[in-house]
Chain A
Amino acid sequence: MAEKILEIKDLVVEYHTDAAIVHAVSGVNLSVIKGETLGLVGETGAGKTTIARSILRILPTPPAKFRSGEIIFGGEELTTKTEVEMRKIRGNRIAMIFQDPMTALNPIETVGWQIAEAISLHNEVRRDEAEKRAMDMLEMVGIPMERFMEYPHQFSGGMKQRVVIAMALACNPELLLADEPTTALDVTIQAQVLKMMQDLKDRLNMSVILITHDLGVVATSCQSVAVIYAGEIVEYGTVEHIFDHPAHPYTNGLFGSLPRLKTTERRLKPIKGLMPDPTKMPEGCRYAERCPDATEECSAKPPDVAEVTPGHQVKCIKAGR
């Protein structure tokens, strides 16, 4: 069995706002194999960013509330670590790329300073050494190092995302959390950035959690896939499992009701209806309301997770039968 770099067990995260409790993540189990890329796919509001932030423990608290769960990284439990211990992991062993490159950089510091900051935080190096390495990082993501002293507003969106990636990779992390690294970018630049990330991943031998809406990206860069719906993982398996034998009605819905992924189907297809209100999650299956195959039994109690083939898990009462 391949070595797991990260294992999440029964993660529950809520947001306590004035009005209500948002059930953002409800009992998620995941693992990432060393050197592999896990794709996290789901609609907006499904809880993808919340999962990624929970791993680094950078949820906005309040309103976020970590209810329960274990996060085991390289054999160590992260949820019980002190803040000081976590700081040594953040940016160093686990790094994150954020959804929106436009706002992810501090507008009044130079990009060079921001990359060097990450380097000098985790390495015993002098200032000039950190800056030298920051320049190397810029070159690595394809930005001339002369631009070291420039500010974020002098960069285009794609270049900003490169800077964010350079920053994330500056300390050779073992695990990279890439939260929709290309969603905010132009289609042409998306491909470039993804290609670059793929190359860097291979070179640095990282494990990656790739959050995305783009099924094409999942098919080309991921080994495993977790489909997440309303804070729960509804289907989980290898790329072959998910793409060739999708078993959950929601996954089928994503592929446009086709049992197999046709090459024309690159993006998530909108499914009729809306995700349930995260403050009032239904008793039974959370997808029942939109599910074409739903029966009364579905709304009565939450379905168990069934393993249809080894390593291919589906949270649907139909799947086990």
Chain B
Amino acid sequence: MLRYIVKRLLLFIPIILGISFIVLILIDITPGDPVAIMAGWDAKPEVIAQVAADLRLDRPIVVRYFEFVTNALKGDFGKSFRNKRPVMTDILSRFPYTALLAFVSVVLSVLIGLPLGIYAATHQYSWKDNTAIFATLILVSMPSFWLALLLVRVFSLGLGITPVSGIQKWTSWILPMFSLAVGYAASIARQARSNMLQVIREDYIVTARAKGQSERVVIYRHALKNACIPLIMTIGSLFGMALGGALVTEQIFSIPGLGQYTITGLINVDYPAIQGSVLFMSIISCSIILLIDIAFAFIDPRIRSQYIRKKVKAIQVGGEGA
């Protein structure tokens, strides 16, 4: 298992190389030239050349790519064009807000969505289930930014319960977190419901009932644990989505997180800031996927034994040699 994790961590290197390459190319071909912006539209050619040299943009893209990648592997994303501070410092100071927003939203959505899904599944064919399906369908299709604006309209401007934006008070977090969590909760509920409905029909659930097991244990031990296996995947990808969704949410609620930093970087054509934050987010996403895989192995013995079996085989091969 440990060997597997190390192997997966080593795989991060080619991922970093690939993503950096794509990002650099994309930035290069997007309109908007940071040199022209910084030098001014009527600058003399010498000034332009000087600014380009200052920004280290006077060299071909391949050279810039190798420089960026070697520095990135050392944890250095370069300095921002705009505020001249190291991008890494800014990312690290802003990421906690984004992580908090994403983490609490996802946890909240699991806490709401999972029980709702189980409830709907165990009340199939009743109006309770139908209502739950209908409600979650609406909530899933509701864009989170739209919900965010609606929530602000009602709770901040209408009732005055929560601040409109910022992070000065803890109540400021309620609306951004809920605006993300509601849609996620709905999609978790829908998936939990359909997984449960599928698992409840499995033979081993009948076996558990035939043993005389109580309905509560049948549902919460036998069925739920099995239904959760595919859910891990959903929850993990929701984390990725929440980090990305923070881009818009942070903008709406003026949260000084990584999403806001990325958007500011984009507006200012701040190459190092864009490259750095995109790469950082990619690494975080890869780490989440790795965590999902480990969680799979933890809960599902069939997957776990794939790692162990390799070890046993290795021993057998070694034994034959001796």
Instruction: Give bound CA distance, A90 to B299, whole Å.
Output: 29
Contact indicator A87/B302 (Cβ below 8 Å): no
Please name all residues of chain B whose beta carbon is closer than 8 Å to the beta carbon of A121 when the two chains form the complex.
Answer: 211-213
Distance in angstroms between the alpha carbons of A118 and B207 in the assembled complex = 10
Output the least CB separation between A167 and chain B (Å): 7
Which listed segment binds B: A97-105, A134-142, A263-271, A306-314? A97-105
Query: B107: CB under 8 A from chain A?
Result: no
Q: Are B211 and A90 in contact (CB under 8 A)?
A: yes
With a cutoff of 8 Å between Cβ atoms, the chain B residues found around residue A153 in the complex are 301-302, 305
Partner of A117, one of B125, B213, B215, B305: B213
Give chain A nearest CB distance to B199 CB in angstroms: 10
Q: A58-B209, A90-B209, A154-B305 are in contact. Are A104 and B204 (CB under 8 A)?
A: yes
- Once A58-B206, A62-B125, A153-B301 are accepted as A-B contacts, the answer to whether A106 and B211 lie under 8 Å apart by CB is no
Contact of B212 among A92, A108, A109 (CB under 8 A): A92
Which residues of the partner chain B approach A91 to less than 8 Å between Cβ atoms? 210-213
Tell me what chain B mostly uses at the interface: helix, strand, loop, or mixed.
helix
Q: Give chain A nearest CB distance to B299 CB in angstroms.
A: 7
How many chain B residues have a CB neighbour from A under 8 Å?
A: 24
A residues within 8 A CB of B301?
A: 107-108, 110, 151, 153
The answer to the question of A127 belonging to the interface, with a C-beta cut-off of 8 Å to chain B, is no
Interface size (A, Cβ < 8 Å)?
Answer: 33
B208:A106 contact, CB within 8 angstroms? yes
Which has the most chain A C-beta neighbours within 10 Å: B204, B213, B226? Answer: B204
CA distance A83 to B218 in the complex (A): 14
- The answer to whether A318 has its CB under 8 Å from any CB of chain B is no
Q: Report chain A residues within 8 Å CB of B302.
A: 107-108, 151, 153
Indicate whether B201 reaches chain A with its CB closer than 8 angstroms.
Answer: yes
Please, what's the 1-or-0 string for B224-263, where 1 marks a CB less than 8 Å from any CB in chain A? 0110010000000000000000000000000000000000
Give the A-binding residues of B (Cβ under 8 A). Answer: 125, 201-204, 206-215, 222, 225-226, 229, 299-302, 305
Given A108-B229, A108-B301, A117-B213, 11 new contacts (CB under 8 A): A56-B210, A58-B206, A60-B201, A87-B213, A90-B210, A98-B203, A106-B207, A107-B226, A107-B300, A107-B302, A122-B212
